[in-house]
Chain A
Amino acid sequence: MTWLLVALGAAVGAPLRYLTDRAVQSRHESAFPWGTFTVNAVACLVLGATAGAAVSTELYALLGTGLCGALSTYSTFSYETLRLAETGRWPLAAANAVASVLVGTGALVLGAELAGVVRG
């Protein structure tokens, strides 16, 4: 059952990353990979809230492992950072690495705090 829920979450999360990435890029002409940056931050926020809300194993499989896992990506982040560096945009590459880690972790903590406030 949990396998099915992970699959279901991923079936939504992966296309959602693709569509969000497109939407962000089409509104934002920049070499900085804002699309991936955005989905990773949003996924961290949602995962933080999911973990903070202490949901059931099933709901965690669906939202945490499946949805957030597929919505966020490390492989794309790595490739983008490499491409920025090898096209000479070292400051953007460094900014992407540092900001992704800081904003991702910050969004996760924020999500967990918000879930804690809602739970009371």
Chain B
Amino acid sequence: MARGAERPYGRERAVTSSGGGRDEPVPIDPDVDLHVPAQRAETAGAHVLLVLAAVAAGGIIGALARYAAVRAWPGDPASAPLVTLGINVLGSFLIGVLMVPVAEGHGRRTPHPLLRPFAGTGVLGGFTTFSAYALDARDLLERGEGAAAFGYVAGTLLGSLGAVWAAVTLTRRVFGRPGAGR
């Protein structure tokens, strides 16, 4: 955290357990959200290099994990690319778990300021992929498998949204009220 920048998720930023209202600075964008003063300030001075290094290191780990999974389960080219579907659903679940303590002020301790750039922006951003998802959908369409393409697109979307919702709901329950115990 840069010197002189605002405290990241202080008591005054406590939000309701339902996830906060419109005016509260719980981020919409977990990668970086400029509505949150601490995130706006995190590229100030030499700190930017630390943040970018954390994002890059996390991105390498996430992308290699995805590559390892795709190589481990190459899959039948005629079937829907289930590995990428699984990766995107799992990554969506994990970002829900991560963002509750990191961005919403739940939990007893203020998380390390590099945790979000490393684990959220880096690892989970590098692990999940939108571009391969679009390529898979196009490939299915090109092979004339319209129903499979639709099922893949909708299945990934609904699976991921369900996963992130379940993760956020469960994790908020585990951590209790925002700011509790500080």
Contacts and interface: CB of A to CB of B under 8 A. Distances in A.
A67 B145 CA distance: 28
B62 interface: yes
A15 B59 contact: yes
Interface string A83-106: 110111000000001001100110
B34 to A, nearest CB: 5
Given A7-B60, A18-B31, A47-B131, A74 B88 contact: yes
Q: How extensive is the interface on chain A, given as a class?
A: 35 or more
Interface centre among A3, A18, A22 (most CB of B within 10 A): A18
B5 interface: no
A25 B29 contact: yes
Contacts of B165: 82
Contacts of A6: 63-64, 67
A14 B130 contact: no
B60 A11 contact: yes
B179 interface: no
A58 B134 CA distance: 21
The majority secondary structure among interface residues of chain B is helix
Interface string B14-57: 00001111100011111111100000000100000001100111
Given A78-B95, A82-B165, A104 B55 contact: no
Nearest to B96: A79
Contacts of B1: none
A63 to B, nearest CB: 10
B34 A18 contact: no
Nearest to B163: A78
B116 to A, nearest CB: 11
Nearest to B27: A83
Contact of A70 (B43, B126, B157): B126
Interface in B124-170: 124-135, 137-138, 153, 156-157, 160-161, 163-165, 168
The 3 closest A-B pairs by CB, nearest first: A14-B59, A10-B63, A74-B128
Given A18-B31, A73-B124, A79-B92, 12 more contacts: A14-B60, A14-B122, A17-B125, A33-B29, A48-B138, A64-B131, A69-B126, A69-B131, A70-B125, A72-B130, A74-B88, A77-B130
26 contacts: A6-B64, A7-B63, A10-B126, A14-B58, A15-B52, A17-B31, A18-B117, A26-B34, A51-B135, A64-B131, A65-B63, A66-B63, A69-B66, A69-B129, A70-B63, A70-B125, A74-B160, A75-B124, A75-B127, A75-B160, A77-B160, A78-B96, A78-B163, A80-B28, A104-B131, A105-B137
